[in-house]
Amino acid sequence: MLVREFEFKMKDGRTASVRSPREDDAAGLLDYLYVTACETEFLMRYPEECGKYTIEGELRFIKNANSSDREAAALCLVEGEIVGLANVSWSGAIKTKHRASVAIALIREFWDQGIGTVLMEELIRIAEENEDLIQIELDFIEGNVRARALYEKLGFRIVGVKPNAIRLKDGTLLNEYSMIKEIKR
């Protein structure tokens, strides 16, 4: 589904805008996927694994996110550049259609500007509007204190840990934590 279009002020006073991705964002999204993979180990992809992403794949992602009634993507732009993307989706399966998943990543230069809070609040609002949903779920990698702080601020709580879920290239093993935010009905 399409997300609401709006602008907000980042902590540094600049204006950021939020909207659904469009077809002409496909190339920008490929850059974003690569840059974010280079900038943090708290995402599931290494930069060299970004070759699997293609313009056609991004066009499919954009079309699906915008046209599906069980998915939405919110792009954040500053001065015309993509600085972040967050998405929410849920299954149509009878046994699991009460559970939504969210994911988010921003370009590092734009961390700590309040963008994560704004994008996540928008996705939570979308999930709350869907009456089937009773919980929003996400995972974060051990050590991602910024993500954890953001999620806890928004009402998510840790419900489980998968030991050694992540192995970095240097062999470091990290746990993955699962969080849930319940939607009051």
Site residues (CB under 6 A) for ligand COA?
A: 40, 42-43, 104-106, 111-117, 140, 144-147, 149-150, 153
CB nearer to ligand COA: pick between 133 and 150 = 150
Q: Give least dist CB 27 to ligand COA, A.
A: 20
Please report how close the Cβ of residue 105 comes to ligand COA at its closest, in angstroms. Answer: 4
Q: Which residue is nearest to ligand COA (CB)?
A: 116
Could you tell me which residues are beta bridge partners of residue 158?
179
Least distance from C-beta 129 to ligand COA, angstroms? Answer: 22
Of 85, 78, 79, nearest to 32 (Cα)?
A: 85
Separation CA 93–CA 62 (nearest Å) = 22
**Is 19 or 97 the residue whose CB approaches ligand COA more closely?**
19
- Please, what is the minimum distance in Å from the beta carbon of residue 147 to ligand COA? 4
Rounded CA-CA distance 104/136 in Å is 13
Q: Which is nearer to ligand COA, 89 or 117 (CB)?
A: 117
Alpha-carbon torsion 155, 68, 107, 174, what sign? positive
**Cα 165 to Cα 173: distance, rounded to the nearest angstrom:** 7
**Residue placing its CB nearer to ligand COA in the complex, 4 or 108:** 108
If we measure between CA atoms, which residue out of 131, 127, 37 comes closest to residue 88?
A: 127
